[in-house]
Amino acid sequence: MKHFKSLAELHRANGFPPPENPLLSLLQCNTTCSIGETEFTGDFYMIGFKKLKSGVFLYGRTKYDHDSGSMSFVKPRQVIQLKNLEFEEDGFLIYIHEDFLNGHVLHNDIKKYGYFEYEANEALHLSPKEEQIIWELYRKIETEYNNNQDEYSRDIILAHIDSILKYSQRFYKRQFINRTDMSGKVISKFNDALNLYFGNGLLAQKGLPTVKMMADQLNLSTRYLSDMLKQETGKTAIELIHIFLVSEAKNLLKGSDNNIAETAYALGFDNLPYFSRLFKKEVGVSPNQYKKGVVN
């Protein structure tokens, strides 16, 4: 698999003119746009906007959900394939080498945006007004990119990129709400999956449920699942798994003759001190105190 350490390499491999900035590349696609007919990785972030008519866009070996007017986000060293893409309207790709962010607040902030971890069926779908906002920001970046760059250029460009990322976060929250209305509460499906996992005896077979296990059950990426649950409940997937396990533990401690160790092992915990710490964190008292009827 081809790995591009620089944007210049990416441009040369695809017959594009050299980028105006060695650490930043803007590519506007009209009706077609193919970059890397085979899978590739790179030391850069990618932000893309497209109204896709046909073609293949693979990210993390998963086909992206590309209805009209969607945005996608790729982190460094993630597998990408863009093949025979045909657009209904103009689209764009912004490549940001990770070195372009060195010494800037965005170097750390960009890692906080969970959508760079999203994979399957999780692209951001924009309304016409949202599209207009993103295009206006892209045009500002493009203007600065094509001007004679000076000591202010990088900060101005990164400020606009930061705005795109912040707006995208806002638009994703809107999408979470809209899609929840259409498809039902994710928390309900998540709890159903946990109940099935427990009811089918998978705790004994596979051990404690993980976020990845639950995400796979719901056909979502782990980060997208956690972000949606956080939006709905204020808690992440792992926090909800812990709450579920502690709830089951409380039931076993009160409803059976099992001691603390037997309760922990019945729930898939191999590490008794870890079980006790988790229980006390959630309940406020130790499992032993709870079994004896001590409440906090």
In this predicted model, what pLDDT tens digit does every residue of 191-200 receive, in sequence order? 888 888 888 8
Question: b/e per residue, 219-230, with b = 16+ CB within 10 A?
Answer: ebbbbbbbbbbb
pLDDT at residue 6 in the model = 92
* 132 pLDDT tier (thresholds 50, 70, 90): very high
Round to whole Å and give the CA distance between 237 and 222.
8
- Cβ contacts of residue 176 below 8 Å, gap of 6+? 227, 228, 231, 232
Beta bridge partners of 71: 49, 124
> Do both 75 and 202 map to the same domain?
no
pTM tops 0.85, yes or no: no
In this predicted model, what pLDDT tens digit does every residue of 99-110 receive, in sequence order? 999 999 999 999
* Domain around 229: 186-291
Give how far Cα 28 sits from Cα of 32, 93, 277, Å. 10, 6, 53
Q: Which range among 53-67, 132-146, 231-245 shows the weakest confidence by mean pLDDT? A: 53-67
> Do both 240 and 146 map to the same domain?
no
Round to whole Å and give the CA distance between 60 and 241.
26
Residue 296 lies in a domain: no
Last residue of a domain, one of 133, 154, 183: 183
The torsion angles phi and psi of 73, rounded to 5 degrees, stand at -140, 130
